[in-house]
A = this chain, B = another copy of it.
Amino acid sequence: MNTNVHVFSVSPFLTLTEKVTVEYLCQLFFGGESVKHGGFTCPGGSLANLTAMITARSILFPETKAKGIQDHKFRLFTSEHAHYSFHKAAMTAGMGIETVISVGVNSQGQMESEKLRQAFLDSKLRNETPFFVCATAGTTVYGSFDPLNEIADICEEFGLWLHVDASWGGGVIFSPKHLHKLTGIKRANSITFNPQKMLGVPLLCSFLLLRDKSVLAANSLDNASYLFHEENEYDNGSQTLWCSRLGDAFKFWFSLQWYGEVGYCRRVEHAFEMVTLFYENMLKNSNFEVLLKPACLQVCFYYRPSEDGERNTKMTHGIVQVLRNERKYFIDYAQGKRGDFFRIVIQNPLTTEVFIDEVIKEIDEAGKKLLHTL
């Protein structure tokens, strides 16, 4: 396993494992003419997202590869709730953080497609060069799924590259019950999908999937002849933005042999059932205020919030600290407009109803004690 999948000759088995796994995933996400699909693993979703953006730039503006971005005022669009990696990507790519236009979301944390259209038109009026849209399937904080078909319509209309960051939410592809959240994903040009997240495959395991693999040639260079000896579609290293890579696809491939699609379906649906239970039990207890009905596996909530954001933050941090100090639960939180709120992610297949009742009870008890001190 300790070998490098940059060239076929060094690791034939792992290279082929990656190839069949990518083909399988592309078929799952894109359907249709599988022979055209392609992709590879990346060390994490952020680098998969960066690669998608660079590939789009090199394809739509081929001269940038040799000459750089020059006078182009590139702009990319993603929602306010998208992963922060696009800001890192824009900085890395020499376009600057301000290149990223954050499109507003609705109360459910989904990108509003009409706002995307408007943001695009405004950008054009400013003589900028919008070229890339990233929709999110499963946002980091709320777990929201952007309306992919509506966004794809806009991308097709204006010739924009559509990337879907399904790092987190892509796992629902295995659940007939939740699959509909990904409707429209097959219209993407590129997709990031991380089996290291919802499916529990060991880190790192992240895929960049391309609807048309021929675009990957955009990243290849011709000055590494010592390594890439001839045109070889199996030498993926020439298409990545880096070189050495582990055979991360093997971890997903092996996991898939073991669990099968049915096993993944059960894993995903069980997690959703637990989240629903968590959510419904919280609704029954007036001490909790849940921010939204979970779209994915996150539950975001306050404990007895007031109008005072600072007080809410104190309450959240206080309860988190109590449970950590008691070595009971390690709960995380996120920033909201009314102060920091709890953000619990349930995806462990061993999570039970009893466990959920217990967590809610413990938070409630810690909260009650803290109420007196705030």
- Expressed in whole angstroms, the Cα–Cα distance for A92 and B89 within the complex equals 9
**How far does the alpha carbon of A204 sit from the alpha carbon of B243 in the complex, in Å?**
11
Q: When the two chains form the complex, which single residue of B88, B94, B202 contacts A64, counting CB atoms closer than 8 Å?
A: B94
Instruction: Say how far A119's CB is from chain B's closest CB, in angstroms.
Output: 18
CB of A290 closer than 8 Å to a CB of B: no
Please tell me if the beta carbons of A203 and B67 are within 8 angstroms of each other in the complex. no
Report which of B43, B58, B66, B91 forms a contact with A65, defined as CB distance below 8 A.
Answer: B91
- Kindly state the separation between the CA atoms of A241 and B268 in the bound complex, as whole angstroms: 30
**CB of A334 closer than 8 Å to a CB of B:** yes
Question: Shortest CB–CB separation between residue A48 and chain B, in angstroms?
Answer: 9
Interface residue? A87 (CB, 8 A): yes
B residues within 8 A CB of A45? 243-244
Determine whether A221 belongs to the interface, using a CB cutoff of 8 Å to chain B: yes
In the bound complex, what is the Cα–Cα distance between A68 and B96 (angstroms)? 4
Q: Which of A84-116 contact B (CB under 8 A)?
A: 84-85, 87-88, 90-99
B92 touches A43 (CB 8 A): no
Cα A93 to Cα B65 with chains together (Å) = 10
Among the interface residues A50, A140, A242, A330, which one has the most CB atoms of the partner chain B within 10 A? A242
- Tell me how far the C-beta of A360 lies from the nearest C-beta in chain B, rounded to whole angstroms: 22
Would you give the shortest CB distance from A150 to chain B, in whole angstroms? 25
> Which one of A54, A87, A244, A332 has the greatest number of beta carbons of chain B within 10 Å?
A244
Do the beta carbons of A44 and B244 come within 8 Å of each other?
A: yes
Q: Is A125 an interface residue (CB 8 A)?
A: no
In whole angstroms, what is the CA distance A4 to B227 when docked? 31
A358 CB, nearest partner CB in chain B, Å: 22
A44 touches B245 (CB 8 A): yes
Which residues of chain A from 216 to 240 have any CB-CB distance to chain B below 8 Å in the complex? 219, 221, 223-227, 229
Chain B residues within 8 Å of A241, by CB: 46, 50, 88, 91-92
Total count of chain A residues near the partner, CB < 8 A:
61
- Contact A221/B50 with A44-B244, A244-B45 known, Cβ cut-off 8 Å: no
Nearest-neighbour CB distance to chain B for A123, whole angstroms, equals: 15
Give chain B residues whose Cβ lies under 8 Å from the Cβ of A196.
Answer: 244
A335 at the interface (CB under 8 A from B): yes
**Which residues in chain A, 18-73, are within 8 Å of chain B measured between CB atoms?**
43-47, 50, 54, 57-58, 64-69
CB-defined contacts of A54 to chain B, threshold 8 Å:
91-92
| Complex Cα gap A84–B196 (Å) | 30
> Which chain B residues lie closer than 8 Å to A148 at the CB level?
none
The answer to whether the Cβ of A286 comes within 8 Å of any Cβ in the partner chain is no
Closest-by-CB residue of B relative to A228 is: B84
* Residue in B closest to A140 when the chains form the complex, CB atoms: B226
CB distance from A292 to the nearest CB of B (A): 15
7 further interface pairs, Cβ-Cβ under 8 Å (given A2-B202, A64-B96, A203-B244): A2-B203, A43-B204, A44-B242, A44-B245, A84-B223, A94-B95, A226-B343
